[in-house]
């Protein structure tokens, strides 16, 4: 049995920051639904390793190592994909970073790095890819936001600021580009077991608090994000744009 609305057969998806964690899980999930995948990251060896891991499963995967915080590298990298491999039909803007410390002690260099990684990269890659999508009259862009687009907790104020910006940049992109046939949405994960969250996963006190605070009573598994990503990348979401789809076990709905 096939489900045409969710079929990604023949569609090419660029997933930034996809050599590990959520990005890798989403790349693999889209591949399982038929998409051709372009793995991206700054480290060529890690990118190729991740791509090869997916190829061993029989997926159509290529590697595109470039730094998403460098506007010129992004423009060149996207042009190389479009010119050498073919159209980017789906963009998952996943690259991101975290740094935890009290706000009064937050280093200026980390603030600048976080802005470049978590929000400027979405603008750079989104704009570069959208220019090709607009010419074709169609395309899907999914920006990875967070429950921290809506909430805050001690020690991560700059991260919260960038993820709030992701939500509003998504709204702006959708407003500008919907008339060109693009759907731009955000996917907002809650607390998932990933390398980015490893310090929290390893903290028994935090994990106990999270399991009590989350109605589902547990950390999320990264594969539980795949369904939402496929929906936002497929024909099933043809009239959905500017939306933030939260996948969080209920943490944003309950006090």
Contact 94, 125 (CB under 8 A): no
Q: Of 24, 124, 159, 191, which residue is the catalytic one? A: 159
| Sign, Cα dihedral of 34, 17, 48, 132 | positive
What b/e readout covers 78-114, taking b as 16+ CB neighbours within 10 angstroms? beebbeeeebbbbbbbbbbbbbeeeeeebeeeeeeeb
The DSSP output letter for 191 is S
Q: Determine the Cα–Cα distance for residues 49 and 242; give it in Å rounded to an integer.
A: 34
Q: Which two tokens stand for residue 82?
A: 């479009």
For residue 189, the cross-strand partners are 247
Alpha carbon distances (Å) from 132 to 83, 90, 126, 135: 11, 11, 10, 5
Are residues 63 and 47 in contact, defined by beta-carbon separation less than 8 angstroms? Answer: yes
Is 24 a catalytic site residue?
no
In angstroms, the CA 20 to CA 53 distance is: 11
C-beta separation of 164 from 207 below 8 A: no
Count of beta carbons in the 10 Å neighbourhood of residue 238: 12
Residues belonging to the active site: 159
């Amino acid at each position: 049995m096939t489900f045409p609305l969710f079929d990604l057969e023949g569609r090419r998806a660029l997933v930034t920051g996809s050599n590990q964690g959520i990005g890798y899980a989403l790349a693999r999930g889209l591949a399982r639904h038929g998409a051709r995948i372009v793995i991206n990251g700054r480290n060529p060896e890690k990118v190729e390793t991740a791509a090869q891991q997916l190829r061993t499963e029989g997926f159509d995967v290529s590697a595109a190592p470039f730094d998403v915080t460098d506007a010129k590298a992004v423009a060149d990298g996207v042009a190389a994909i479009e010119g050498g491999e073919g159209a980017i039909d789906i963009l998952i803007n996943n690259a991101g970073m975290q740094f935890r410390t009290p706000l009064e002690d937050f280093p200026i260099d980390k603030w600048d790095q976080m802005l470049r990684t978590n929000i400027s990269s979405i603008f750079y890659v989104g704009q570069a890819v959208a220019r090709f999508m607009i010419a074709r009259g169609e395309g899907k862009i999914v920006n990875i936001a967070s429950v921290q687009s809506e909430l805050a907790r001690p020690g991560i104020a700059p991260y919260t600021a960038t993820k709030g910006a992701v939500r509003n940049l998504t709204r702006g992109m959708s407003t500008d580009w919907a008339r060109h046939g693009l759907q731009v949405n955000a996917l907002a994960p809650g607390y998932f077991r990933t390398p980015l969250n490893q310090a929290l996963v390893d903290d028994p006190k935090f994990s106990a608090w999270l399991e009590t605070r989350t109605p589902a009573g547990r950390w999320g598994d990264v594969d539980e994000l795949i369904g939402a990503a496929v929906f936002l990348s497929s024909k099933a979401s043809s009239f959905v744009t500017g939306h933030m789809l939260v996948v969080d076990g209920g943490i944003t709905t309950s006090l």
